[in-house]
Structure 1
Amino acid sequence: MMVKRNSLIFLTAFGLLLTGCSNSGLEITKDDILEVARDDANATKKECENVSIKEQKGSYIISFNTNGGSYEYKIGKDGIIQERNYKRSSSEEKEEVSTSEPVEEKKEETEVETKKEEKKESTSFNKNQQAAIDAALANAGLAQEDVTDIGCTLDKASQQYTVTFTFQDIHNTCMVDAATFTVLSSVQA
């Protein structure tokens, strides 16, 4: 009788312990969210002025200004950037980019992918294009050998490079400033 009672107490305590652990989710603070936005904008704390953080349903709206322009982000409470707006300070152009959480899929390499790898290696870029590609890949946390179908074109009117690449069947397009090689926007489709 005593063994059953001790077992019951042990099982009850263990169940309560597991219940308590599962409800203690990771809480991301406003400072963490601001750091995500500043990191994405490639801006230091000192470079950011007029910082505003507003909480909405399941997300934060963060806005701030830098010497290069003004930024506005919508970031989920999970730390994922949902929307990103950038307005250059020297022009009235405004770019609005919406991103969603990337879906990671594991699959086996096929002959088509092997051909893409071979095609990727044969493409050459000038040093400015390569700098824009390096900035876009660094912004995505990737290396050039991680991606396929890399492309880079310069829009002379806006002085921006459009860098495109594919990572795990997700097509990425990044806009990179031609003067500073700063990533202005990034879209995944």
Structure 2
Amino acid sequence: MVKRRKRNSFIILASALLLTGCVNSELEITKNDILEVARDDANATKKECSNISIQEDKKYYTVSFDTTTGSYDYKIGKDGIIQERNYKRSNSDEAKEVSTIAPVEEKKEETKTETKKEEKKESTSFDENQQAAIDAALANAGLGQEDVTDIGCTLDEATQQYTVTFTFQDIHNTAIVDVATFTVLSSIQS
């Protein structure tokens, strides 16, 4: 009987707190929450982020951090909604990509199955700008080109955007990438 009263008291207290939170329309998010919003948008873990900076203004936070693929700058409202997003790709990313190509070539010689997979992937060639758009879309998803299949990239000249498509673990992904900055504007999984 005493346990039941405690449980009922707890439920009443939790309901009261929930209602109080719903009534308070001025509820603001903490700096840690804002950083989590930015990291989630960038598909970056805590370990992948360095040089983290969070500045608080009256109506928004300015968040910036670096990852191995580039630098991210965000302007996030105190309601947790991203108002602006900027991504600058790092030059060290290109060097990293070059270093991962060499082991793949060694694997081609090791087994016939891996050679066939690599030849199939390389059968579609992309120009330099298409490859940059693909790299941006894959970095945004936290993947490498060796992780995905069925890669495609088309340019919509009217909107000046690339549409990058790829499959990862039987999930079809589509990303829209800006032609001028190679920034991922949106991504959809289906």
* TM-score normalized with structure 2 length: 0.48
TM-score normalized by the length of structure 1 = 0.48
Q: Greater RCO between the two (CA within 8 Å, min separation 6)? A: 1
